[in-house]
Structure 1
Amino acid sequence: MYLPPYSPELNPIEQFWAILKGKLKRHKLLTEEKLSDRIAKACNTIPTEILYNFASHSKRQIIQYYNKTTF
């Protein structure tokens, strides 16, 4: 599916990355802790329901976008 550039609201992964980056910024990385371990832990704290909401929101935005666009 084509997504216009600079339209993060149409792509649910952008919403996911925003949440994940926020979680990673809240805590400093410990010297012995690997970044990949911290990312995995942060990913596991995001509830599945939130991921579903990201997809639902993007779906609504895409429908609105295509209904406003004339071809």
Structure 2
Amino acid sequence: MKGWAELVFETPHPREIYHALAPELEDEIHRSRVELVEGPGFVRLKISGEDVVSLRAALNTWIRLVKIAIEMVSL
């Protein structure tokens, strides 16, 4: 079963967060795909997984990465 999730994070620092996370997009993930989009006042994350397990794992990883990036630019 394939699945996807799209999360929008509102932030006053979308460019900084996008650039902090962009290198992670180059990592090869075998069973999931990640798109990251920077917009005015937000960063949108779309994760697709081949199955529920890969989707959950990718969500856990990327939500943690976004949280850390937001915390770092807020210092």
What TM-score results when the alignment is normalised by the length of structure 1? Answer: 0.41
**Bigger radius of gyration:** 1
Query: Per residue, is there more strand in 1 or in 2?
Result: 2
Q: Which is richer in helix?
A: 1
